[in-house]
Amino acid sequence: MQKSLDRKLAAIHANPNTREFILADAKDADMALGLGAPGQSPEMHAGEVRFKTLQQYRDQMRLITRSGQVDIMLMSASSNHALTFGERFFDDSPVTPAIRANDTTDIHLARGSSYAKEAARPFRTASIDHAQCGHLDCSPEERSLGANLGLYSVTFNNDLERDMETLVRFHEFREEAERKGFRYFLEVFDPNVPNAIAPEILPHYLNDMITRMLAGVGPTGRPDFLKIVYHGPKAMEELVRFDPHLIVGILGGSAGTTRDAFQLLHDAQKYGAKVALYGRKINNAENQLAFVHFLRLIVEGQVGPVEAVRAYHGVLQRLGTRPTRSLDDDLQLTEQSMSYAGTSSARVDGTRNALTIPKEDSSIGALPVISSASSKASCACKSTAEAHTHSEPDSCQCSGKTQRPLVTESYSVSRHRLASANGQLSSNGRPDFSRMSASERLAYHRERLGLGR
Q: State whether 290 and 422 are in the same domain.
A: no
Q: State whether 299 and 417 are in the same domain.
A: no
Domain that holds residue 441: 413-453
In a domain, 453, yes or no: yes
| CATH classification at residue 25 | 3.20.20.70
Residues 284-327: tens digit of each pLDDT: 999 999 999 999 999 999 999 999 999 999 999 999 999 999 99
CA distances from 182 to 29, 45, 220, 287 (A): 22, 44, 10, 34
Return the HEC string of the chain: CCCHHHHHHHHHHHCCCCCCCEEEEEECHHHCCHHHCCCECCCCCCCCCCECCHHHHHHHHHHHHHHCCCCEEEECHHHHHHHHHHCCCCCCCCCEEEEECCCCHHHCCCCCCCHHHCCCCCCCCCCHHHHHHCCCCCCHHHCCCCCCEEEEEEECCCCHHHHHHHHHHHHHHHHHHHHHCCEEEEEEECCCCCCCCCCCCHHHHHHHHHHHHHHCCCHHHCCCCEEECCCCHHHHHHHHHHCCCCCEEEECCCCCCHHHHHHHHHHHHHCCCCEEEECHHHHCCCCHHHHHHHHHHHHCCCCCHHHHHHHHHHHHHHHCCCCCCCHHHHCCEEECCCCCCCCCCEEEECCCCCCCCCCCCCEECCEECCCCCCCCCCCCCCCCCCCCCCCCCCCEEECCEEECCCCCCCCCCCHHHHHHHCCCECCCCCECHHHCCHHHHHHHHHHHCCCCC
Q: Model pTM greater than 0.85?
A: no
What's the total number of domains in the chain?
Answer: 2
In a domain, 367, yes or no: no
What are the residue ranges in the chain where pLDDT is below 50?
Answer: 337, 343-421, 428, 449-453
In a domain, 357, yes or no: no
* Residue 443, pLDDT score: 61
Question: Which of 304, 336, 365 delimits the end of a domain?
Answer: 304
Q: State whether 74 and 206 are in the same domain.
A: yes
* Residue 255, pLDDT score: 76
Question: Which of 248, 274, 304 delimits the end of a domain?
Answer: 304
* Residue 437, pLDDT score: 63
Residues 350-409: tens digit of each pLDDT: 333 323 333 222 333 334 443 333 333 333 333 333 333 333 333 333 333 333 333 333
In a domain, 290, yes or no: yes
* Residue 269, pLDDT score: 98
Question: Which of 304, 334, 369 delimits the end of a domain?
Answer: 304
Cα 323 from Cα 199, distance rounded (Å): 35
* Residue 72, pLDDT score: 98
